[in-house]
Structures are given as structure tokens and as C-alpha cells.
Structure 1
């Protein structure tokens, strides 16, 4: 199954169902089941944001999993960011409009890509494994 490694707290925000769009500088043609791997690096600056901290309130942020597959979802679309205003992001797919707190959960600079995630489910038992760059294949 395909896996995407994401730094914390972003991976946990996905697993908690708070974040439904992952932004990347690169696109993918892949659509389908996707595992979310929490990398070993933590974005400590992000943890200073009160909206992010509030969105993580159901977990102990000092014990966020790292180096583990923590969720599964479906990657349903990958769309290019066209333009942005302070409170709304427009993509090349008209039905994808980003607003609300999702705006602070990603880098929506024009030219980047919004990976649209759906059917997000946290794993009951995270799977320790080493992450990789790009999309990678996990074999049990």
C-alpha cells in the first residue's frame, strides 16, 4: 500500500480528522488508499500556534507518535493551487475551495499542490517503520 511520510504535528492532525488536505510542492497521479506515516521530525514552530494546539487537544502533544504509520485514508484528488486571498484558496478544480482552519494547516502558495484526503481513520495500533521520501510502498 502507498504511504506518505509527514512531519508532526501535521500527521496527527490528519489522523484526528482535523486536516483533510496535505500540501506539497509536487503532484502525484496516484489516487486510492494511502497510509499516513508520522516522520521523526517535529515542526516545533507549528506547535506554537494556538489553533493548531487547540486542534490537537485530544492527544498529549509531548507524546505524539513519530516513526510510525498512524492512519489510513483515501487520496481522492491532487490539484494545483491557483490563487489565494486571505481567507479562501482557489485550485484548478472548481469544487475544491479551502477555507477555515484548514488554511493554516498547509502552504497554499500558488503553484503548490493540494492533496485531498477522504475517509480518514486513525490506526488502533500504530505501526513502527522507517519513513521515506515521496510516496513509498509499505509491505507487511
Structure 2
């Protein structure tokens, strides 16, 4: 089922991951080399990257660009070229997931450049190489978790890929070159069990940049949690709204879409409306919609920038 995060390592043909901006473009442009998640990577090999529909705030973009400027400076790179635009609701390109390790393992893995180790800020670190971007990003809808890209989209996208020249290409060595899944949580700590904490020296600018990046991600996660709480609180009355939906559509000429918010084995459905212009802020969604239902209004309040 599309939109449902799958546990395990199989059943993916052309796996895709929807990410929020600016993180999605930073990954496809080869600037971001570690994708942080609260769950281990279920795939190895090519992973398509799709940008979610939320327009990033300027403060969030600045925080993440400042973060990468500082960590690349540790390795002598001071002329990073960031994306000119951060498009939303688009398939952007792909990367190759070569492994997944725990945060402590990546942060203390001395074979990696200092800047890469500082990217390890989440529980699980998906290690990404060989970024490629689409010449023209495809408009499409995303789903929660890792899902299979539709065949027709894949066939069009695979012909439009172009290689990206990363500012500092990184190769993550596999413990077992014959086993593509050998770089997994615990594999690095098993090799160096007595490893001490990272000794990367942090300047005041670097400390501030890391704090800014963490704040941006934390604020974003808080909004997602608030949205899911709104969904849970309104779940009991969902069936009543569903029964009255056809009448509302007939009277207003407007049909609200739905999407699945899935976490583990529980799935919650949220009414949502896609913006007709992906360059407009999310708050502009109101002017495109008919009278919103209570759950849509609650979800919209959860996404409203603070």
C-alpha cells in the first residue's frame, strides 16, 4: 500500500521518500549526506526523493544553510552553492542509500570527514551517496514513509536524471563488501567497541549553527506532532463527517482529498487540500477551499507558522 511505512528490507521496486524542504533539495544536491530518521533505513540502493507540499520558511532555510556552511568549513570548503529554489510537491531526484547506523556510531566514525560526523543529529543515520537530480522536477503527490514510486513516473524520471557534483563526495565503507546490508546499526560499534566521544572542536559559530539546525528540526517535528494530535482528537467524529461529505460536495462543488498519516500499525486519516500554486504559503490554502470541515481547520492551525 502506498503511503504506508514498511518494516523490513524488501517489497520495494522503486522506493521513494517524501521529505520537507529545504532538507529534500540539500540531499539531492549532494550537500546533505546523512538523512536522519527515528527508524532504520529499510532499503539499500537508489532512493527517490520527493519534496513535500509545505513551503519552507525563510528562517528554516537560513538555519540549514548556515549549518552546512559551518560544517563544510571544517574541511576547507567555503564556497558552497546552495539551490536557488526549494520547490515543493515535486519529485526532485535520487540518492543511493549505502547503509544505516546509529547516531553515536556515525558521530565517532573517524574514517568520515569531520563535517559528515556532525550531520549525525538523529537516532538513525541513513548514509547517502551518488546524488542525482531531475532536469525538470516532476509534480506529484507524496506519501508517508518509504513507498513505491508509480511505474509511469519512474519511467519518465529515470530518463531525466543528471549527475550532481557534490561539494565533498563521501564514500561510506562497507564492513563486508559482498553484503550491501552489512553497514547497519551496530556494525561500526562492533568494530570499535571502546570508541570515545567525538573530539571535533566546535567554534562559537559552529555551535550556534548546530543549535539553529536542531531548533529548525525540533520546531518542525513539534508542528507535525500537533497536527497528529488534532487528528487523534477528531478521529471519533470522522465517520459522521464522512457521511455528510457527499451532500457538502454536491452543494459546494468541492471535494476534499484525504491522506494517510501512518505510524507503526496505526493509521489516521486527515482531510487536506493541495494548494493550486506551490509557490504560495500554506496559509493561502484557505482562499482555494470551500467551507472547511472541523478536522481540516484543526489540521491547518497545526501547520500555521509560529
Query: Which of 2, 5, 8 pairs up with 2:21?
Result: 8
Are the equivalent residues in 2 in contact too, given 1:71–1:122 (CA < 8 A)?
yes
Q: Deviations over 1:8-35 (max 9, x none)?
A: 0011111211111100011123111110
Secondary structure of the structure 2 residue equivalent to 1:82: helix
Partners in 2 of 1:53 and 1:60 — Cα distance? 15
1:1-140 matched pairs, under 5 angstroms: 1-44=14-57, 45-49=59-63, 51=66, 57-61=81-85, 64-82=86-104, 89-90=107-108, 94=109, 97=112, 99-100=114-115, 103=118, 108-109=121-122, 112-139=123-150, 140=152
Q: What's the offset of the Cα at 1:101?
A: 7.0
Are residues 96 and 75 of structure 1, via their aligned partners in 2, closer, same or farther at CA, if it must alter by over 3 Å?
farther
Cα distance change of structure 1 residues 8 and 56 upon mapping to structure 2, 3 Å threshold? farther
CA offsets, 1:80-105, max 9 Å, x none?
1127xxxx823xxx4774632773xx
Between Structure 1 and Structure 2, which shows a larger proportion of helix residues? 2
> Helix, strand or coil for the counterpart of 2:39?
coil
TM superposition shift of 1:47: 1.6
Tell me what 2:175 maps to.
none
Please give the root-mean-square deviation of Cα atoms over the aligned residues, in Å: 2.8
Q: Tell me the TM-score normalized by structure 1.
A: 0.75
* Greater RCO (Cα-Cα under 8 Å, separation 6 or more): 1
- Between the aligned partners of 2:131 and 2:91, the Cα distance in structure 1 is 13
For residues 111 and 138 of structure 2, the distance between their equivalents in structure 1, rounded to whole angstroms, comes to: 32
Inter-partner Cα distance in structure 2 for 1:11 and 1:107: 16
Q: Give TM-score, length-normalised by structure 2.
A: 0.37
Is the partner of 2:20 in helix, strand or coil? strand
Structure 1, unmatched stretches of 5+, are: none
Number of aligned residue pairs: 127
Question: Which protein has the larger Cα radius of gyration, Structure 1 or Structure 2?
Answer: 2
- How far, CA to CA, are the matches of 1:79 and 1:43 in structure 2? 28
Query: 8 Å contact 2:107–2:120 — kept in the other structure?
Result: no
Determine the C-alpha separation between the residues in 1 that align with 2:103 and 2:130.
Answer: 22
